Structure 1
Amino acid sequence: MSVVDVNAMQVEKETQKHGSNINYGIDDTPPWYLCLFMALQHYLTMIGAIVSIPFILTPALCMEDKDPARGIIISTMIFVTGLVTYIQVTWGCRLPIVQGGTISFLVPTLAILNLPQWKCPSEDIIGAMDSAEKTELWQTRMRELSGAIVVSAIFQVFIGYTGLVGKLLKIITPLTIVPTVSLVGLTLFSHASETASKHWGIAIGTIFLMTFFSQVITNIQVPIIKYRKRFGIKIGWFPLFKLFPVLLTITIMWTLCFVLTAFNVFPESHPARTDVRIKVLEDAAWFRVPYPGQFGTPTVTLAGVLGMLAGVLACTVESISYYPTVSQMCNAPPPPLHAINRGIGTEGLGTILAGFWGSGNGTNTFGENVGAIGVTKVGSRRVIQWAALIMILQGVINKLGAVFIMIPDPVVGGIFCVMFGMIAAFGLSTLQYVDLRSARNLYILGLSIFFPLVLCLWLKDHPDFIQTGNETLDSTLTVLLSTSILVGGSLGCILDNLIPGTAEERGLLAWSKEMVIENTNEDIVISSTFDFPYGMQTLRRWKWTRHIPFLPTYKMKL
């Protein structure tokens, strides 16, 4: 049997396993007008997650609610998301995934900004500052975050492009992933509570609509008018609630707040009013191109870098878990090792760019857009490339970024309650691979989730407790021990690899089937799906390229 026959049988086996009802496969190119609408759909899917990050980030930066720079940060995040997404889809792992800002980086960010030297002054002090002093106040903190993000992401670039990802995952087990990912959502509960409590009626209404649209009537389709040249006007059906539950919820609750504001139901300056930050929109420029170093040269401290490394590790594990899932959804072959290496390395490169641009965050694979592929059955990378171009364009039009700042805080608080809960649940879902009847596993799970919450909450209230006599060491230890995902993930990893247990009990057997990252036969030629768009003939002529872990010609020696 030839190599081509073996490869064809492998692809056919995967297609039969995961279904063949895909509308557009990964290598398909839909008509441009369909690409445009499907790209807009992906854009709208990710925009809710993107705009939620600054609502937590900017107050921690000591930025005022009415500061127009909040719109600049949102536009920068969207711009970088488009730029990194295009690079990842075209030259990175080549899967149709969206790369953008992530909640995972907020946990170490808040730990860093909770250090005594970075805590915000009192409102009276900030109120007495002039405009230039207020700007310098938050930009100093942004530069600290940017430096930490850039340097910590070098680790992700290194393990990706050198091919160390596979070896790293040998010690990152399900009982490591569960506390790492779930603590991202659990740690941020206080921010959801603070934002939602500004008006519990609006927040609970938001949660209700989100639940109703995404869970109760998700399979109900709405009629729409379609026109085709051959058949004329027809009535079609569109899965509105399945595709856009977040967008619908925000639109309805935002409109409700607008009506209540118009009738002065809320008093002046109430957080639920839609005009409370109208000055942000008025002062925002129409066009502004984000650029590296726009908030100053990034600064680097050891405490910031080591703390932000926890976010990098969490994002690495989460992204790798998405790669085989996306391939299955697109009826593509399993991603080969070189594509996974390149994908993680490119994600690290994207995080470095995000740091230099001053987005205050890193990049990660958007789970929301992975879900959109499963729902729409459209897995074309060309669609994601179009979506990336839309994001870049929107990032330049600064008024659009400022519009999202106008969303009332209680609406955002309701979205937080759902979003952070889903992140915690996503982490806990990895427990399906381990034996939950094992006392060993329950001990590791309970300790690695509960202890970080206790320790980090206590250190937040006592940031000056660690006194070694060295200020740099004090800050570093405080940030590391205040970052719940680092403490929980490290504790889970150490305990799971030290405490005796069988491979089946620890979930390693079931997990290895899900995470296929090693070539089982170096003679099998993987489909050209993961080849570069240009230059493959040249790479195949050079024998030395077979030894470079991130090139499509890579041949791993077993």
Structure 2
Amino acid sequence: MKSSHELRVVEEGETGTCDTMTMEGDERGNESTEEENNDRSSAGEDRLIYSIEDTPPWHLSLLFGFQHYLTMFGSTLGIPLLLSVELCMSDNPVDVGKLIGTEFFVSGLATLVQTTFGSRLPIIQGASLAFLEPSRAILRSEGACPSPLSVNATEEDFEMRSELWRSRMRLLQGAILVASLVEVVIGFTGLIGFLLRFIGPLTIAPTLCLIGLSLFQTAAKFAGINWIVSGTTIVLIVIFSQYLGRITLPIPAFSSNKKCHVIRFPVFKVVPVVLSVIVAWILAAILTATDVIPEGSPGRTDYRSAVLQDSPWFYIPHPFQWGFPVATAAGVLGMMAGVLASTVESIGDYYACARVSGAPPPPKHAVNRGIGMEGLGCILAGFWGTGLGTTSYSQNIGVIGITKVGSRHVVQAGALFMVVLGSFGKFGAFFATIPIPIIGGMFCVLFGLVASVGLSNLQFVNLNSSRNLFVLGVSLLMGFVIPTYIKDNNDAINTRFPEVNQIIIVLLSVNMFVGGAIAAFLDNTIPGTLEERGLVSTKHKSSSQTLEEDGALSKCYDLPFGMRRIRRIGFFRHLPFSPTFQGFRVKNYCHRPAKRNGRASVKYDAVTSTQGDSTNKTADT
């Protein structure tokens, strides 16, 4: 989380962001430190072209929106392709294309809901890796996939295989639907502030780290099909994103002021994955044409070429397209681990997105509403059947920082691209033909970045403390040891109740659940100071959230309609997701005798505590 000073001074360079009235500049001008002044000067150098409330011309909105679409493309494409293997969809490539289209379609819907009614920040929603490991654990409990069908398989055999993967998908749908209700409740009731008291950096770091590290076997399996293609993908992503990231290329542009002109655009830094996939795909086509890649290998570009012919031109995803969801206790509890990990990760994304888009720090009601709407997005994913929940994409926040375009309408234009292109059957079918080694190369980089994002939370922790090293080391190692043992010994759990056995097996098979649970228990029970545990930074967060109470009213977090009525009716001030919400207040009256005019009288102190605020306000009544 960012400090209150870092978040408050973002984009002072006349960006015209939210309709904001900040009093701290005049009231506390004498208290600003040299560090704050340096932050202000650096913020002034990075001026936004379009801030969060601005509306660019329609053609620029479409252009920048398509850029956001390309940025989230790699992650959103790879995850359903990986899940399709666990779903036993190898004999149904046409359905794989439909699954890809459904993922993009639902991501667009979730983004529109989040930017319109949720946190109102320009933040993209997409498939979450936090749900992948719980989904795989649920599917593993249903047994391994059968061998691929032979060339002589009948139409009835293909129908049976289709029903097999659909039944497995329905299990994931039911688990996501029920588990996502927890995220909805956590968000709209404001419970997230209470839960964060027990979830610190030492819990978040191993949880997110295990999400990426636990998938290394899949990345190695996919990449190992052809290391020439996968290695090329990895090398290109590294070169484009790290070595050529600062290089800008001339691109023609048009504006009402400058008319036709040329701008310099950091294309390698914005879409390195897309460029790498295109080049690697061309290389795979050359190796296929020269038969360097043998016939029948998943590394060939013609391995699934029939999918394009068999897929319809238009396929609009719809709810329950795979059948009616089925929920099991084991599946729901396992999926809750993904819900909690995704929730904690998204809160940090809200503060980062607010900073780069020129908005003030998100107030309590915006965070609560954002988490609630992310839960609603996961429910949409459960209805439509993507097999995974949705979450905020941090890579698109980086795009805002690069392009200096933080407009909410641009992200909504990107969401429209997801919805429209997700409705074209040929679109999903085309990317279902992507050679598997290219996907493996993408995973090698993507999973490593996920692990490193988890480790970045340790910047707040005292790593010279033997206590913290113990918590981190034990939770990370046990996050691998216990799930590995359970996967190899499913009969090790025997409580004489099959349902209970399945629940325990699914939970203990999820690496991030085991590691996160152990880290949370040790971090909250082993003695240690707040500073040592890295929890001091949460105070900065709470102080930044009191801006609303200090007189900084941020209209960019208001709902798009109905605000007059909401402000007029006092009841809405008590709803955690209402723009007029100012925190929970619980009064505790302490008896204290006081003398008045020579006579004993009774005087009371009203102690008011506010959600997310560690300071108590005392007033005499």
Q: How does the TM-score come out when normalised to structure 2?
A: 0.86
1:434-493 deviation per Cα after TM superposition (whole angstroms, max 9, x unaligned): 000000000000011111101111211222321111110000000011111111111111
CA distance in 2, matches of 1:308, 1:368: 24
Q: Which amino acid aligns with 2:353?
A: V
The answer to whether the aligner puts 1:67 opposite 2:84 as a matched pair is no
Q: Quick check: 2:80–2:103 contact (8 Å CA) kept in 1?
A: no
The correspondence of residues 388-399 of structure 1 with structure 2, limited to 5 A, is 388-399=415-426
SS at match of 1:370: helix
SS at match of 2:93: coil
The answer to whether the aligner puts 1:550 opposite 2:586 as a matched pair is no
What's the counterpart of residue 279 of structure 2? 252
CA distance in 2, matches of 1:533, 1:234: 36
User: 2:238 pairs with 211, 218, 241, which one?
Assistant: 211
The answer to whether the aligner puts 1:439 opposite 2:466 as a matched pair is yes
Q: Quick check: 2:253–2:262 contact (8 Å CA) kept in 1?
A: yes
Q: Quick check: 1:340–1:517 contact (8 Å CA) kept in 2?
A: no
User: 1:58 pairs with 64, 84, 93, which one?
Assistant: 84
What's the counterpart of residue 214 of structure 2? 187
What's the counterpart of residue 471 of structure 1? 498
Q: How far 1:67 sits from its partner (Å)? A: 2.2
The answer to whether the aligner puts 1:120 opposite 2:145 as a matched pair is yes
Q: How far 1:139 sits from its partner (Å)? A: 0.4
The correspondence of residues 443-454 of structure 1 with structure 2, limited to 5 A, is 443-454=470-481
1:258-283 deviation per Cα after TM superposition (whole angstroms, max 9, x unaligned): 12212222221112211101122211
User: 2:328 pairs with 294, 298, 301, which one?
Assistant: 301
The answer to whether the aligner puts 1:6 opposite 2:32 as a matched pair is no
Which structure exhibits the higher relative contact order, with contacts defined as CA atoms closer than 8 Å and separated by 6 or more residues?
1
1:391-439 deviation per Cα after TM superposition (whole angstroms, max 9, x unaligned): 1111111111111111111111011000000000000000100000000
What's the counterpart of residue 39 of structure 1? 65
CA distance in 2, matches of 1:493, 1:49: 29
User: 1:177 pairs with 196, 204, 219, which one?
Assistant: 204
CA distance in 2, matches of 1:452, 1:10: 50
Distance of aligned partners of 1:5 and 1:302 in 2 relative to their CA distance in 1, 3 Å threshold: closer
Q: Quick check: 1:105–1:361 contact (8 Å CA) kept in 2?
A: yes
Q: Which amino acid aligns with 1:353?
A: L
The answer to whether the aligner puts 1:315 opposite 2:315 as a matched pair is no
Q: Quick check: 1:111–1:479 contact (8 Å CA) kept in 2?
A: yes
What's the counterpart of residue 361 of structure 1? 388
1:343-375 deviation per Cα after TM superposition (whole angstroms, max 9, x unaligned): 000000110110011111101001111111111
The answer to whether the aligner puts 1:80 opposite 2:97 as a matched pair is no
SS at match of 2:490: coil
1:16-40 deviation per Cα after TM superposition (whole angstroms, max 9, x unaligned): 6744511111111111110010000
Q: Quick check: 2:362–2:545 contact (8 Å CA) kept in 1?
A: no
The answer to whether the aligner puts 1:540 opposite 2:564 as a matched pair is no
User: 2:129 pairs with 84, 88, 103, which one?
Assistant: 103
SS at match of 2:528: coil
The answer to whether the aligner puts 1:166 opposite 2:193 as a matched pair is yes
Q: Quick check: 2:112–2:415 contact (8 Å CA) kept in 1?
A: yes
Q: Which amino acid aligns with 2:120?
A: R
Distance of aligned partners of 1:537 and 1:408 in 2 relative to their CA distance in 1, 3 Å threshold: same
Q: Which amino acid aligns with 1:539?
A: I
CA distance in 2, matches of 1:7, 1:551: 24
Q: Quick check: 1:114–1:463 contact (8 Å CA) kept in 2?
A: no
Q: Quick check: 1:336–1:526 contact (8 Å CA) kept in 2?
A: no
1:97-133 deviation per Cα after TM superposition (whole angstroms, max 9, x unaligned): 0111111111101111111x34323446996861211
What's the counterpart of residue 172 of structure 2? 145
SS at match of 1:440: helix
CA distance in 1, matches of 2:515, 2:278: 37
Q: Quick check: 2:81–2:100 contact (8 Å CA) kept in 1?
A: no
1:63-93 deviation per Cα after TM superposition (whole angstroms, max 9, x unaligned): 1155200011111111111111001001100
Q: Quick check: 2:462–2:534 contact (8 Å CA) kept in 1?
A: yes
Aligned residues: 555
Q: Which amino acid aligns with 2:387?
A: G
User: 2:352 pairs with 322, 325, 349, which one?
Assistant: 325
CA distance in 2, matches of 1:21, 1:274: 45
CA distance in 1, matches of 2:470, 2:525: 13
CA distance in 2, matches of 1:369, 1:329: 11
Q: Quick check: 2:21–2:552 contact (8 Å CA) kept in 1?
A: yes
Q: Quick check: 1:7–1:527 contact (8 Å CA) kept in 2?
A: no
Which of these two proteins has the greater Rg computed from alpha carbons?
Answer: 2
What's the counterpart of residue 489 of structure 2? 462
CA distance in 2, matches of 1:165, 1:257: 47
CA distance in 1, matches of 2:139, 2:26: 54
Q: Quick check: 1:7–1:526 contact (8 Å CA) kept in 2?
A: no
Q: Quick check: 1:258–1:274 contact (8 Å CA) kept in 2?
A: yes
Which residues of structure 2 form unaligned runs of 5+?
1-19, 30-35, 586-609, 611-621
Q: Quick check: 1:153–1:312 contact (8 Å CA) kept in 2?
A: yes
CA distance in 2, matches of 1:276, 1:8: 63
What's the counterpart of residue 619 of structure 2? none
Distance of aligned partners of 1:154 and 1:226 in 2 relative to their CA distance in 1, 3 Å threshold: closer
SS at match of 1:80: helix
Q: Quick check: 1:226–1:233 contact (8 Å CA) kept in 2?
A: yes
CA distance in 1, matches of 2:145, 2:249: 49
Distance of aligned partners of 1:227 and 1:113 in 2 relative to their CA distance in 1, 3 Å threshold: closer
Q: Quick check: 2:102–2:385 contact (8 Å CA) kept in 1?
A: yes
Q: Quick check: 1:97–1:369 contact (8 Å CA) kept in 2?
A: yes
Q: Quick check: 1:25–1:378 contact (8 Å CA) kept in 2?
A: yes
Q: How far 1:161 sits from its partner (Å)? A: 0.2
Deviates more, 1:8-17 or 1:136-145: 8-17
Percent of aligned pairs sharing the same letter:
46
What's the counterpart of residue 184 of structure 2? 157
Q: How does the TM-score come out when normalised to structure 1?
A: 0.95
The answer to whether the aligner puts 1:49 opposite 2:75 as a matched pair is yes
The correspondence of residues 196-345 of structure 1 with structure 2, limited to 5 A, is 196-226=223-253, 234-345=261-372
Which residues of structure 1 form unaligned runs of 5+?
none
Q: Which has the higher helix share?
A: 1
What's the counterpart of residue 498 of structure 1? 525
